[in-house]
A and B are shown apart, each in its own frame.
Chain A
Amino acid sequence: MTQQDTILSLKRLQKTFTARRKGKTYAVRAVNDVSLDIRRGETLGIVGETGCGKTTIGRTIIRLTQADGGSAELDGKDIFTTDSRRMRELRLKVRMVFQDPYASLNPRRSIGDSVAETGDIHGVFKNRQDRDDRIAKTLTQVGLDPSFAARFPHQLSGGQRQRVGIARALLPTPELIIADEPVSALDVSIQAQVLNLLADLKEEMGLTLMFISHDLGVVAQISDRVAVMYMGNLVELADGPELFAAPRHPYTQLLIASVPRIDPVKRIAGGIEKGEPPSRFSDVTGCAFHDRCPMASDLCRSTRPELTDAGDGRKVACHHA
C-alpha cells in the first residue's frame, strides 16, 4: 500500500437542506459539489467556519445524513447504494468521533458497555471473556486504566470522556476515523493531550484520519493535507505546511490572518475585514465568497469557480488565484 492509495473518494457530493422561514421554503446548500480523495494513512483536515458544510460531509460518509447527489467510494465500493450486509461492514470500517463527549455517551451505561456497543450490535465478540479483553485493550490504547470500564460518564472529566469517545471508535479496528471537532469542548492543555493521542493511534494502527475542525491551529498541526471550505464549497486543498505558508484562495488568506496568535507585537487594529458570510437563505450566484473578496470581479459574481489544479498537488477554486 502506498501513500497515494485512495481509501475514500468523494465525487460531486451534494446535500441540500430545506428550511422554512416566514412561510417561504428555502434550499440551503450545505455541501455543494464537493469532490475529495482521502489517501490511505493520511490525516486530512477539513477546516471552515460555522455552516460551511464540514460536518455534513462527515455525516454523509457514515450515512447519518443521506446525500442528495454525487457518490462516495470506500476502497472502490460505492457506499451510498450499498445493501444492509455491506452497510454493516461500513459501520465497522468507518468510525466517527463526535465533538461533545458529554452528549455522545449514555449517562446510564457503564463506560465498558458504551465502548463495546458497536461490537455487541455487530456480534464481533466471541464470548464474554473476549468482550472484556477487547474493552480493556481499547481503554488501555486510549490511555485509560481498564478499571474505567465499570465507571459511568459523570465520574469522568471532559478529557477522559473524549478518550472514551475515541475508544468507542477504535474498538472494531476501523480503517477510517472521522473526527468531528473532537477537541473543541476541551481546555487547551487537555486538548493537546487528546490530539497527541489521536496522532499516536493513527501511527500505531495505520489508520486514516479525517479531522474536521474550525480551529486552524489544530488542523495545521495534525494534518498532512488540509481542505478549506466556505459556504458548502471546497475552496482550497493543499499540503498543510504549504497551505499555511502561502494560502492561495482569498478566503483561506482571510481565515489564516484572523487566527489570534500569541504575538504581543501583532495587535488588533482598524482596517479589519467587515464582512460576514451571506445568509444561507439567499441564493448566491457565482463564487460564494465574492461579496467579501477584495479581488472580486464581474466574473466572480456570475460564474462559480471550479476547483482546479494549481500545481504541487494543490487545488484552488478561484478565478483570480
Chain B
Amino acid sequence: MLSVRNLVVSGGKGSAQIDIVSDVSFEIERGKVLGLVGESGSGKSITSLAVMGLLPHPQLWVRGGSIELDGADITEEPPYLRVERGHGGVAMIFQEPMTSLNPVLPIGEQIVEAVRVHDGSTGVTARNRAQELLDMVRIPDARLQLNAYPHELSGGMRQRVMIAIALACRPQALIADEPTTALDVTVQLQVLSLIRELCDTFDMGVLFITHDLGVVSELADSVAVMYGGKIVETGPVERLFNTPLHPYTAGLMGCVPDPSAGHRRFQTIPGQAPKPGEITHGCRFAPRCSHAQAICSDDAPTRVTEGARHFAECHFPISRGA
C-alpha cells in the first residue's frame, strides 16, 4: 500500500555531500505494523521524514528512489497533499507530544482544527467529530476533556490526543516515530495496544519507528533493522527474532536487558555506530562485527534470503542455527 523503493536521502554541499539514508526499500501493508528499528543516527527518523515530505529543506533532500501510496508516486508531492490524498493519506505522530501540541489551546480546539482542515466540517459537527476521535483513542470523559489544556493531561493522554489528531484525516498509513519512548512502561503498553487496535479497526498500515526491540516484538508484524543509513535485515517478526541473519541484529538482541535473566553481565557490541559518510566501502557494520573478514570491509554485502520475505545484507549471515 505504501511502498518505498531505493530511497536515498542526501545532505551536505558539493564534494562534502553524503548519503544519510542509502537504498532503503520497504512496504507497508494494510492492517499491518512494520517496525523500523535502529540506534541513534541509523537514519530511521530521516527515512520517516522523507516519507512525509518533511525533510528539513534545503539541508536534506531525496536524491533517488520513490515513495508510492496506492500506486501513485508521491515523492515530489508537498506534505499536505500526502496527508490529504482525497481522504486517506499518510499521518504522523512524534516522540514528545508536548512539543507537538500547542500549550495555550485546549486540546478540543486543536483536534477541531484538524477536523476542519480534513473534513471541511465546522461548528457542532466538527466538535462532535473531535469528541468521537477522543473516544476512539480511549480517553475517558472525552466530552469534558475537550476543554483540557495539554499540561493538564498525562504524557500517555497527550500521546492519545496526538493520535486523535492524526486520525482526523482518516489516514491509510500512520507513521509513528518513537511515540512511546517518553512514556512509562505501564502506560507505554496501553498506547501500544491502542495503536494495534486502531491498525486492526481501520485497516491502517503503520510504520512504527523505535530503538526498542522489545516494543517491536510486541507490536510489529514485520521488522526492518537499520544500521548506518541502510536496512541490514528485514523479515516477519517471529522469523527475524528467532533466527536473525545479520550479526548486528543478533548483537542488538543480546544487548537488550531482560528482567527474567537475573544478575549477569551485559552483552555488548564493541565500538560505536559510524557517522554518516564515515564508511563508504563494504559493510558498514564490519568494524564492529565479530564475524567480519577481509571481504567485509572491501565489498558491499549482497542480499541473502532465508525463506520468503526474510532478507539480510551480509557476507557471513548467522543462519540455520550456525
Tell which of A189, A240, A262 touches B263, judged by Cβ atoms closer than 8 Å: A240
Which residue, of B154, B155, B185, has the highest number of chain A Cβ atoms within 10 A?
B185
Give chain B residues whose Cβ lies under 8 Å from the Cβ of A240.
Answer: 262-263
A157–B223 Cα distance when bound, in Å, is 28
Q: Are A255 and B186 in contact, CB atoms less than 8 angstroms apart?
A: yes
Residue B39 at the A interface, CB < 8 A? Answer: yes
Task: Count residues of A near B (Cβ-Cβ below 8 Å).
Answer: 52
Given that A216-B185, A220-B261, A221-B261 are contacting pairs, would A189 and B269 also be in contact in the complex, using a CB cutoff of 8 Å?
A: yes
Given that A196-B268, A263-B217, A264-B242 are contacting pairs, would A258 and B189 also be in contact in the complex, using a CB cutoff of 8 Å?
A: yes
A1–B220 Cα distance when bound, in Å, is 51
B202 to chain A, nearest CB (A): 16
A275–B237 Cα distance when bound, in Å, is 29
Q: Are A220 and B257 in contact, CB atoms less than 8 angstroms apart?
A: yes
> In the complex, given contacts A220-B258, A276-B157, A277-B154, what are 13 additional A-B residue pairs having Cβ atoms less than 8 angstroms apart?
A157-B272, A189-B269, A192-B268, A192-B269, A215-B257, A220-B257, A241-B263, A255-B185, A258-B185, A262-B217, A263-B241, A264-B237, A268-B192
Residue A273 at the B interface, CB < 8 A? Answer: yes
Given that A187-B273, A189-B269, A276-B187 are contacting pairs, would A260 and B261 also be in contact in the complex, using a CB cutoff of 8 Å?
A: no
B72-80, B86-94, B105-113, B247-255 - the one binding chain A: B247-255
- Chain B residues with a Cβ under 8 A of chain A: 39-40, 138, 154-157, 184-190, 192-193, 196-197, 211-215, 217-219, 237-238, 241-242, 251-253, 255-270, 272-273
Give chain A residues whose Cβ lies under 8 Å from the Cβ of B238.
Answer: 264-265
A254–B218 Cα distance when bound, in Å, is 16
From B156, which residue of chain A is reached at the shortest CB distance?
Answer: A276
B152 to chain A, nearest CB (A): 9
Give chain A residues whose Cβ lies under 8 Å from the Cβ of B267.
Answer: 192
Residue A261 at the B interface, CB < 8 A? Answer: yes
Q: Are A260 and B189 in contact, CB atoms less than 8 angstroms apart?
A: yes
Given that A256-B259, A268-B196 are contacting pairs, would A221 and B264 also be in contact in the complex, using a CB cutoff of 8 Å?
A: yes
Residue A244 at the B interface, CB < 8 A? Answer: yes
Q: Are A262 and B256 in contact, CB atoms less than 8 angstroms apart?
A: yes
Q: 25 A-B Cβ contacts within 8 A? A: A49-B185, A49-B187, A187-B273, A188-B256, A189-B251, A189-B272, A191-B255, A192-B269, A214-B184, A216-B259, A221-B258, A221-B266, A255-B185, A255-B186, A256-B259, A258-B185, A258-B189, A260-B212, A260-B217, A262-B241, A262-B256, A262-B258, A264-B238, A273-B189, A277-B154
Q: Are A254 and B263 in contact, CB atoms less than 8 angstroms apart?
A: no
Residue A195 at the B interface, CB < 8 A? Answer: yes
